[in-house]
């Protein structure tokens, strides 16, 4: 059969999703009671009183809960998911607030009612008496000595801090021929998947089991946490992430308050309970990311070679740090990108503010890192009168320098060691594709006609495929269907297709016969989650291992059934057969039946299988020989020692409309490399989608807070995700540098597309306007101000 | 003028994908909620509940409408078509659905039913549209996954796929 690895196979999940048969969390349990929350109106306040009596009178209300009602560990603060030695003041929120609320949107009380309409009626009748405190919202101000504190019991707002150094930055900076200092800033933004978060819980008292549907990126972790919270065996809790309507990071937090409270209420009430987030709740109650303020000191020689670089930066943690320091740690590790920094130091402080907490959003600290590095390159080039492409060329890590150790820690705590890459080739491909050398002429010609056009480029390296592990369970059914289960979930990444490609190749079966289930702990209990561009790498290799094991079993057992030497058996088109004797064959499904030594009363294959079993078991062995298992199936795990590093470079040619100050993208070119490609259709889709999200982050999207800590744009009317009318089609080019670290040779691609976009737009606009862009995102009014620097002329 | 309080129910008739439903609904219930939770037609998705994302788009009397901005009582007597009514009763995909699959016009699939229903009245004109016109025609629908390339290609290709299908 044609090998499917590398082919643009149409997606298997599409048939379901296109016909309205997708099953998202809110599509389950129409019989469930529904939940609405009272959320803090204030960004920082003491709660003096919660009066729920008015709510209890509402017809259809089943229960109203506040923190007082929570018992055991449910009454404790939610977990800190990723501990780090740099955390100095860990704070996580309570599922329902106790006496202090630290951001507008924090959950205070919970109403369970017959439907959401009634639940919201009741929420409106709950009276919370607050003693408001002035909020601290601005990141820079929050980091100042003596700043107002985001938590009443803290003396300052530092959640954590960390620093690492490679080489001797101070000594080299002191001797550098040129020393520059700049400040760069990236605003707050958010994932905003089209489906918000949702949780459904069904408790069955008769056997003390809990079934939870959760629109999460990590069902296995949710399951483990809930079992521990309830103090029950893991087997009594099952968590399913069904179809998930986008994630982009925001759906992995472990735990959001609602993920704890809905199961708790379902168990307490003995009735199914559902909560489906509305869009306003998503803006005020689901995590954000991106806000960082960087200071850079860079020493360069006359040719623009970077001798040493230091960045000190502030990371906006929001009101709590449930995800530890992971975002600034990633920024720090990935800031050098494809460039050789022999002397590099970072020092960051993660700062509490009275805003929605932050955790990774697609890109996860890398868009900030790339912005800082690539704006630095551009500014160095400009200061020294050099071509910025030449400055890039001179600083790139060379193809013969892999594996390359960046010299600081990666997000998994291990060293940051790039496995493979060819950065110079990537850059030359990009420059060729965008006709870089011709652009000078074009820019001048446009300028002569009064038009502002500019070209910008940007490069990134993305660490992907981190551990600890993923697993795959494969089973061959009697009808020849091959089922595959992975613990990680899917939010659009086509796992059902790409994992099926791997299995179909290994077993030589029709891909339509391969059924992949993701994110269902009933099918496989162990797994980690879909984040950090890790699924294809970690789960993909686990699937490959499990498929290889099933293949070996099939060959082995077919040898016995077909009375041939194992090495003379081959798997062809869903059948095991003797090489050179295709009529001596058995379909894989039949083989699986025979490999399970019991009697089948029903099924067309039963008679034949029973007959064949006689042959297979005639040798006097035990029916199941030592070391074998019934049927054809395997569970295998893949655990990488370290991440694998994809990379890419983007270029944009932009024009600024002089009348509207709108950004017009004339061309957008992408060269990217994620190792070996399993499915180019899917990879292109990931890159294009990432580009669109990056463009949103460059020019349209930002979370805007006022000084009192209220979000000013908590709707899609005001938080502007680009439509088809705003997103041009990018030109895609690929290189393929396999990873030597895993059998498939793959690297992750989920986040890649988004990472450099904001930077590339910034560089292009800076080129068009002839002035630096040191904060992102941009907007028409900012471009207007830059085009008309003199207020008198506006 | 009829008056009914929030908890009182009003009888309405909805024809959905050709099936006639007699329903007793609260006046404040959204059409999207009635489709999803009363009729259990969960293919219509709700992404923002304020009329911006377009995930909940259905056809009401042949025209695309945000089902989250319509009260079910307003749709009394209307002919509603949802994504569940797009494929043939024999399960054969509509050319738009085939096109979305072929051109990778969906990833997570949450916005997809809305895009399909928004594209349904226009896909036959799409081949003659400029890129800007076609994107404008789809400009009421948000997608967070795809970057729209596959969606625009799919809507443009659907009429040709339909012609292929008719020819066979």
CATH number at residue B136: 1.10.150.120
Burial of B130 (0-12, 13-18, 19+ CB in 10 A): exposed
Question: How far is the C-alpha of A609 from the C-alpha of A604, rounded, in Å?
Answer: 9
Q: Write phi, then psi, for A489 (nearest 5 degrees).
A: -100, 180
Tell me: the pLDDT tens digits for B113-142? 999 999 999 999 999 999 999 999 999 999
Q: Is residue B3 part of a domain?
A: no
A193, B150: Cβ pair inside 8 Å? no
Kindly determine whether residue B42 and residue A20, on different chains, have CB atoms separated by under 8 Å.
yes
Report how far residue A164's alpha carbon sits from residue A331's, in angstroms, rounded to the nearest whole number: 12
H or E stretch including A179?
Answer: strand A178-186
Same domain, A460 and A594: no
Q: Count of domains in chain A?
A: 3
Residue A285 is inside which H or E element, if any?
helix A279-285
B68: domain CATH number is: 3.10.20.30
Residue B134 placed within a domain: yes
SS3 A586: strand
Q: Is residue B90 part of a domain?
A: no
Contact state of A30 with B37 under an 8 Å Cβ cutoff: yes
pLDDT band at B1 (very low <50, low <70, confident <90, very high): very low
ipTM for the complex shown: 0.97
- Domain holding A79, by residue range, is 14-133+191-285
Together in a domain, A281 and A315: no
* One domain for residues B76 and B107: no
Residue range of the domain that includes B75: 9-85
How many of the other CB atoms lie within 10 Å of CB of A639?
Answer: 13
Integer Cα distance of A304 and A385 in angstroms: 10
Q: B interface mutation test: which of A20, A23, A283 has the most B CBs within 10 A?
A: A20
Mean pLDDT of B155-166: 93
Q: DSSP label at A535?
A: I
Give yes or no: residues A480 and A454 share one domain.
no
Regarding whether B141 and B120 lie in a shared domain, the answer is yes
Q: How far apart are the first and last CA of chain B?
A: 54
Instruction: Mark whether B81 and B117 lie in a shared domain.
Output: no
How distant is the Cα of B166 from the closest Cα of chain A, in angstroms? 21
Give the C-alpha separation, A424 to A445, whole Å: 30
Query: B111 and A193 in contact by Cβ < 8 A?
Result: no
Q: Which tokens sit at B92? A: 């054969």
B104 lies in a domain?
yes
The answer, yes or no, to whether residue B68 has pLDDT greater than 70, is yes
Mean pLDDT by 10 residues, chain A (794 residues): 90 97 97 97 98 95 98 95 94 97 98 97 98 97 97 98 98 98 97 98 96 97 96 96 97 94 98 98 97 98 98 98 96 98 98 98 97 98 97 98 96 93 98 96 92 97 94 95 96 96 98 97 94 92 97 94 93 96 93 81 68 68 78 96 96 94 96 97 97 97 97 97 97 96 94 96 96 94 89 74
CB contact under 8 A, B42 and A24: yes
Q: Kindly list the strands in the beta sheet with A663-673, ordered across the sheet, starting from the edge strand earlier in the chain.
A: A452-464, A644-656, A663-673, A731-734
Q: Are B48 and B140 in contact (CB under 8 A)?
A: no
Tell me how far apart the alpha carbons of residues B168 and B165 are, in angstroms, rounded to a whole number.
5
Residue A17, chain B, CB below 8 Å: the answer is yes
Residues 44-73 of chain A whose Cβ lies under 8 A from any Cβ of chain B:
59
- State how many domains chain B has: 2
Q: Tell me the residue length of chain A.
A: 794
> Are both A373 and A447 inside the same structural domain?
yes
A426 and A515 inside one domain: no
Closest in B48, B110, B116 to A716, CB measured: B48
Do B158 and B114 share a structural domain?
Answer: yes
Whether residues B13 and B80 share a domain: the answer is yes
Say yes or no: A379 and A304 in one domain.
yes
List Cα–Cα distances, A734 to A402, A404, A420, A497, in angstroms. 20, 22, 15, 21
Instruction: Pick from A723, A727, A730, A752 the residue to mutate for testing the B interface (most B CBs within 10 Å).
Output: A723
Q: Is residue A58 part of a domain?
A: yes
Q: CA A717: distance to chain centroid?
A: 25
Indicate if A76 and A224 belong to the same structural domain: yes
Q: Which of residues 237-296 of A touch B (CB under 8 A)?
A: 243-248, 278-279
Q: For the whole model, what pTM was predicted?
A: 0.96
Assign residue A351 the CATH number of its domain. 3.30.365.10
CA A551 to chain CA centroid, Å, is: 32
Residue A403 lies in a domain: yes
Please report whether residue B21 resides in a domain.
Answer: yes
Q: What are the residues facing A348 on neighbouring strands? A: A162, A313
Q: Which of A261, A285, A309 is the last residue of a domain?
A: A285
Q: Does A117 touch chain B (CB under 8 A)?
A: yes
- Determine the residue among B96, B149, B153 to mutate to test chain A binding: the one whose Cβ has the most chain A Cβ atoms within 10 Å: B149
Nearest to A226 by CA among A245, A207, A198, A203: A203
As a whole number of angstroms, the distance between CA A40 and CA A710 comes to 11
Query: Measured between beta carbons, which residues in chain B are less than 8 angstroms from residue A681?
Result: 104
Assess whether pLDDT exceeds 70 at residue B5: no
CA distance A364 to A362: 5
Q: What is the pLDDT of residue A435?
A: 97
Burial A165-193 (b: 16+ CB within 10 A, else e): bbeebeebbeebeeebebebbbbbbbbbb
In a domain, B27, yes or no: yes
From A405's Cα to the closest Cα of chain B, the distance in A is: 33
**Residue A648 shares a structural domain with residue A784:** yes
- The pLDDT of residue A652 is 98
The answer, yes or no, to whether residue B2 has pLDDT greater than 60, is no
Q: Work out the minimum CA distance from A419 to partner chain B, whole angstroms.
A: 29
Chain A, chain B: beta-carbon pairs less than 8 Å apart: 178
Pick A27's closest partner by Cβ from B42, B52, B141.
B42
């Amino acid at each position: 059969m044609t090998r499917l690895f590398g082919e643009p196979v149409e997606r298997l999940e599409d048939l379901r999703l296109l016909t309205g048969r997708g099953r998202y969390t809110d599509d389950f349990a129409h019989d469930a009671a529904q939940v609405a929350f009272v959320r803090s109106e204030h960004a920082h306040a003491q709660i003096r009183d919660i009066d729920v009596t008015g709510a209890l009178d509402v017809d259809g209300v089943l229960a109203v809960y506040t923190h007082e009602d929570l018992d055991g560990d449910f009454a404790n603060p939610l977990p800190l998911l990723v501990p780090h030695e740099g955390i100095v003041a860990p704070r996580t929120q309570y599922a329902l607030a106790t006496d202090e609320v630290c951001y507008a949107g924090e959950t205070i009380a919970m109403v369970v009612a017959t439907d959401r309409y009634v639940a919201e009626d009741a929420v409106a009748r709950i009276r919370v008496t607050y003693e408001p405190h002035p909020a601290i919202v601005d990141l820079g101000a929050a980091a100042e000595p003596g700043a107002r504190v985001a938590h009443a019991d803290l003396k300052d707002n530092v959640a954590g801090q960390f620093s690492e150094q490679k080489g001797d930055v101070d000594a080299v900076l002191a001797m550098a021929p040129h020393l520059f200092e700049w400040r760069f800033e990236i605003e707050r933004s958010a994932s905003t998947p089209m489906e918000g978060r949702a949780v459904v819980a069904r408790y069955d008292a008769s056997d003390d089991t809990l079934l939870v549907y959760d629109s999460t990126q990590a069902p296995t972790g949710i399951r483990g946490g809930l079992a521990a919270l309830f103090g029950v065996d893991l087997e009594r809790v099952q968590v399913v992430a069904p179809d998930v309507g986008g994630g982009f990071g925001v759906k992995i937090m472990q735990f959001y308050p609602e993920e704890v409270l809905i199961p708790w209420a379902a168990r307490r009430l003995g009735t199914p309970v559902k909560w489906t987030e509305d869009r306003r709740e998503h803006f005020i109650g689901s995590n954000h990311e991106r806000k960082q303020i960087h200071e850079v000191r860079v020493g360069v020689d006359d040719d623009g070679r970077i001798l040493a670089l230091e960045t000190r930066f502030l990371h906006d943690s929001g009101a709590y740090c449930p995800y530890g320091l992971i975002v600034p740690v990633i920024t720090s590790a990935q800031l050098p990108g494809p460039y050789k920094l022999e002397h590099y130091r970072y020092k960051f402080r993660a700062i509490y503010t009275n805003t929605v907490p932050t955790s990774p959003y697609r890109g996860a600290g890398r868009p900030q890192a790339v912005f800082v590095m690539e704006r630095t390159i551009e500014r160095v080039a400009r200061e020294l009168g050099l071509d910025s492409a030449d400055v890039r060329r001179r600083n790139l890590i060379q193809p013969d320098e892999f594996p390359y150790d960046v010299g600081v820690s990666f997000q998994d705590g291990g060293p940051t060691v790039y496995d493979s890459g060819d950065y110079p080739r990537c850059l030359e491909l990009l420059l060729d594709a965008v006709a870089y050398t011709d652009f000078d002429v074009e820019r001048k010609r446009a300028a002569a006609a009064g038009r502002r056009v500019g070209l910008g480029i940007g490069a990134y390296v993305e660490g992907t495929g981190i551990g600890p592990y993923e697993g795959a369970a494969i089973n061959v059914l009697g009808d020849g269907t091959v089922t595959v289960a992975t613990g990680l979930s899917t939010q659009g990444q086509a796992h059902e297709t790409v994992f099926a490609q791997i299995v179909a190749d290994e077993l030589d079966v029709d891909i339509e016969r391969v059924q992949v289930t993701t994110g269902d702990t009933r099918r496989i209990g162990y797994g980690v989650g879909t984040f950090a561009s890790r699924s294809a790498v970690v789960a993909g290799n686990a699937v490959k291992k499990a498929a290889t094991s099933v293949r070996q079993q099939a060959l082995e057992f077919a040898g016995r059934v077909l009375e041939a030497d194992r090495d003379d058996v081959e798997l062809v088109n869903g059948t095991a057969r003797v090489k050179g004797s295709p009529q001596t064959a058995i379909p894989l499904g039949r083989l699986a039946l025979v490999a399970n030594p019991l009697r089948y009363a029903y099924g067309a294959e039963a008679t034949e299988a029973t007959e064949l079993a006689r042959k297979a078991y005639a040798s006097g062995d035990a029916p199941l020989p030592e070391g074998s298992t019934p049927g054809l199936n395997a569970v295998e795990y893949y655990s990488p020692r370290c991440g694998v590093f994809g990379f890419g470079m983007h270029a944009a040619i932009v024009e600024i409309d002089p009348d509207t100050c709108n950004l017009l993208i004339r061309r957008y070119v992408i060269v990217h490399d994620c190792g070996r490609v399993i499915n180019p259709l899917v990879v292109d889709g990931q890159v294009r989608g990432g580009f669109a999200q990056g463009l949103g982050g460059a020019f349209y999207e930002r979370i805007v807070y006022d000084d009192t800590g209220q979000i000013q744009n908590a709707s899609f009317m005001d938080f502007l995700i680009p439509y088809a009318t705003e997103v041009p089609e990018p030109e895609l080019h690929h290189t393929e540098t396999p990873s030597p670290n895993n059998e498939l040779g793959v690297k992750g691609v989920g986040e890649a597309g988004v990472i450099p976009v904001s930077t590339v737009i910034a560089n292009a606009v800076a080129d068009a306007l002839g002035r630096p862009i040191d904060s992102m995102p941009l907007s028409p009014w900012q471009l207007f101000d830059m085009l008309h620097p003199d207020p008198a002329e506006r | 003028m009829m008056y009914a309080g929030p908890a009182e129910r009003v009888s309405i008739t909805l024809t959905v994908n050709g099936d006639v439903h007699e329903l007793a609904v609260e006046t404040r219930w959204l059409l999207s909620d009635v489709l999803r939770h009363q009729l259990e037609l969960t293919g219509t998705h709700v992404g923002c509940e304020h009329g911006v994302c377009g995930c909940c788009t259905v056809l009401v009397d042949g025209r695309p409408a945000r089902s989250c901005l319509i009260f079910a009582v307003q749709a009394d007597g209307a002919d509603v078509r949802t994504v569940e009514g797009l494929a043939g009763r024999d399960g054969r995909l509509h050319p738009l659905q085939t096109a979305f699959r072929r051109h990778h016009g969906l990833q997570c699939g949450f916005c997809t039913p809305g895009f399909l229903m928004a594209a349904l009245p226009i896909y036959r004109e799409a081949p003659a549209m400029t890129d800007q016109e076609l994107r404008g025609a789809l400009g009421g629908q948000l997608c967070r996954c795809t970057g729209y390339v596959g969606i625009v290609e799919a809507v443009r290709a659907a009429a040709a796929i339909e012609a292929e299908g008719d020819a066979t």
